[in-house]
Amino acid sequence: MVNRPRLELTERQKKVLQAVEDFILKHGCAPTIRRLAGILNIQSPSAVFKHISSIEKKGYLRKDGGEIKLTGACSLEPHVQVPLVGLVPAGDPREVFDNREEAVDVPEWMLGRKKGNVFCVLVEGKSMVDAYIDDGDRVLLERTHTAHSGEMVVAFLDDGSITLKRLKIDNGNIFLVPENPEFKPIQVSELKIIGRVIGVLRKY
């Protein structure tokens, strides 16, 4: 089979595709047509549907039922390799950081100026499902030792275990808060942050 070159996108189609990619980066899933119309400030969802259909014909994405899915190498920018350093629990903290010494391809637009300072982890557990991070997802993190209250981080706890949670600082008290009511917040006296969450990669 001969690979045919994809047709060039119009400027409007580029904006639509970029909005889809941005939404997937933030939420781990694609937006609905109606949600996408709101993001793009387009009053008619049918107009957005026509743009999506045109982009699909050009090979940058596909529709699976009512769901939008990106095709391989769909990004408008080059890809870069980011190290996949291993498993991180999003559940009960675990004592080890399972180093895999692998790499994943990530669209360069996801990294921006952080390129070269980003790594990826594979999530194990469901304590962050309400933040659109599920078991088996790959999460992109910016290497940093500091974070603001409200940001999601991967951190070592007082006992040396590691976990992925949302940081909350309240009156000097430090909490690592899950995004799943089945799990309880963890209060710590000392916290070593490894990285701050900047995106989610998910295979369907």
Query: Which residues are marked as active site?
Result: 127, 165
Cβ proximity of 51 and 26 under 8 Å: no
DSSP state of 126: S
Q: Longest C-alpha distance within the chain, in Å?
A: 63
Vertex 74: Cα angle to 70 and 76 (nearest 5): 130
The pair of structure tokens assigned to 20 is: 């889809």
What is the DSSP secondary structure assignment for residue 192, as one 8-state letter? E
**Rounded to whole angstroms, how far apart are CA atoms 93 and 144?**
20
